[in-house]
Structure 1
Amino acid sequence: MSRQLPWRLADAADSPFPPAETALEQPAGLLAIGGDLQPVRLLNAYAGGIFPWFSGDEPLLWWSPDPRMVFQTDRVHLSRRFVRQLRHLEWRVTADTAFEQVMRACAQAPRPGQEGTWISEPMVKAYVDLHRLGFAHSVEVWQGDTLVGGIYGIGIGQMFFGESMFSAVSGGSKVALSALATLLRRQGVAVLDAQVENPHLLRMGAERWPRDRFLAHVRDAVQRPGQHESWAHTVGSVPVSDMLGRD
């Protein structure tokens, strides 16, 4: 008989997660409940192909959906028309210069069919802590001094787990995602986790991977040496045209 309830996590932050393969079919991908958002628990979760996702009135929920949405970092798609439009914009790209600002902008971004946000104050604090430890990163898109788009997520070894992105101006999130893929590819990171299916992500080249394929890749990639330090100085502030997939 299949398991009907999610695992309840132990209190110790470094206690192991159950195997991601044991996630429930309904609700699809729900694996565990409880625990906390301490850095060690979050890093253990991501390294096991698991992520937290819950609203403010819910207990802490942990997920590993099947299939998993991913981008191969050399296959993020921007339309030719959009790229032509960008040539007329004086946008610039930075990284790790406004991490918390990006998170809060993602929290405030409207989502069709969704009320509120899962990016609560405890989530902001937890990921800012990971950012200070060198595991959480952001990519920012600027028009002058105005933040017009951004994306953030978690990097472990040679694997990156995207969390959320936003646009304050049309196209800002597309540029942020494409720039992130370019940065990751230059670091040797082949796959960017996009978590759950979204029509917008599919149009940009996201793929559905069976969970077993995704987990096999993650378990290998997180063991490989990665860049666990700020990206700010290595990226600098560059024209958007330099970050759209042309190395």
Structure 2
Amino acid sequence: MSQIAWLGPNDSFPNPLIHPDPDPSVPGLIAVSERIYPGQLSQAYQLGIFPWYSDNQPVLWWSPDPRMVLKPTEFKCSDSLKKSIRHFCQDMNSEIMVDQDFGAVIRACATSTRKDQDGTWITHEIMDAYTALHEQGNAHSIAIIEQGQMIGGLYCVSFGSMVFGESMFSRKPGASKIALAALNTWCLQNGVVMIDCQQETAHLHSLGATPISRGEFLEQLQISLNETKIETSWTFDKTILTHWL
């Protein structure tokens, strides 16, 4: 059994295709580092690896098997969600803000309480690293606004033609689902065939996400990375939601 790699600032990640589970007792854990070093997050995503850890831990880097993904063509827009979308679109005081306040969205995700996780994995270091990724054009935010207040949203990462969903939050029931519906429409319009959801949850399953093997995910990732980067600007308004009505 090989050991899980401890990465320094100049070390590369093990390839999960070659070293899928260095320690079978911790499936999916690929590597560990003391901190997130410059450039490390970009390298990780392009290998299908992501960080997930708590404040009292070193940085833990994961490539789980199976991998939860959401194909935009299979997004489940329930009748109740369609009703929420219709109300949102008809409200003159509602809007979608894309990439206009990434910091506010990721902070909201970090402080959001949820059933399946406590949110503490979005540490200050995580917020700084993803904000840097946003400034490089590879991380994006979608905020749902009502009456001038942010009631929900999400942030994601994009390389090539692959989108990686990161975290959502709601301050009003269903608000994060509206943001996800908007993201799915944008993906449909721009030829994105898969949104990485990382880990399996009942909530994601209810929205149409399904688990696939790590091998299948990494194969699709390589195809997406070899394709031309999505050139369309991450700029859209709430009219994108009419796709679901």
8 A Cα contact 1:39 1:130, kept in partner:
no
Q: 168, 171, 179: which is aligned to 2:171?
A: 168
- Any stretches of 5+ residues in structure 2 without a counterpart? none
Alignment correspondent of 1:53: 52
Distance 1:116 1:62, change over 3 A: same
1:45-84 superposed matches below 5 A: 45-84=44-83
CA distance in 1, matches of 2:38, 2:134: 10
**How far 1:243 sits from its partner (Å)?**
2.0
**Separation of aligned partners in 2, 1:16 and 1:93:** 38
Cα 1:114–1:87 change in 2 (3 A) is: closer
Q: 129, 134, 144: which is aligned to 1:131?
A: 134
- Find the aligned partners of 1:30 and 1:37 in 2 and give their Cα distance: 16
Secondary structure of the 1:148 match is: strand
1:192 to 168, 192, 195: 195
Identity, in percent, stands at 36
Residue 157 of structure 1, CA deviation = 0.5
Q: By how many angstroms is 1:142 displaced?
A: 1.0
1:117 to 116, 120, 134: 120
Which of 4, 13, 18 is residue 17 of structure 1 equivalent to?
A: 13
TM-score, normalized by length of structure 1? 0.89
Unaligned runs of 5+ in 1: none
Describe the superposition over 1:84-118 as per-residue Cα deviations: whole angstroms up to 9, x where unpaired: 24323324222111211110000011122544511
Helix, strand or coil: the match of 1:184? Answer: helix
Give 2:205's aligned residue: 202
Deviation track 1:92-150 (CA, whole Å, cap 9, x = no partner) reads: 22211121111000001112254451111111111111111100011111112111111
Post-superposition offset of 1:189: 1.1
Matching residue of 1:37: 36
Q: Which amino acid aligns with 1:79?
A: S
- The answer for the alignment partner of 1:243 in structure 2 is 241
Shift in Å, 1:154: 0.9
CA distance in 2, matches of 1:228, 1:127: 21
Q: Specify which of 85, 101, 104 is matched with residue 104 of structure 2.
A: 101
Counterpart of 1:216 in structure 2 is 219
Do 1:31 and 1:64's aligned partners in 2 also have CA atoms closer than 8 Å?
A: yes
Q: CA RMSD in A?
A: 2.0
Write the letter of the residue equivalent to 2:238: V
Q: Which runs of 4+ in 1 moved over 6 A?
A: none
Query: 2:109, 2:168 within 8 Å by CA — same for their partners in 1?
Result: yes
Alpha-carbon offset, residue 158 of structure 1? 0.2
Which residue, out of 141, 156, 159, partners 1:156?
159
Contact 2:67 2:198 in 1 (8 A): yes
Count of aligned pairs: 238
Deviates more, 1:118-127 or 1:21-30: 21-30
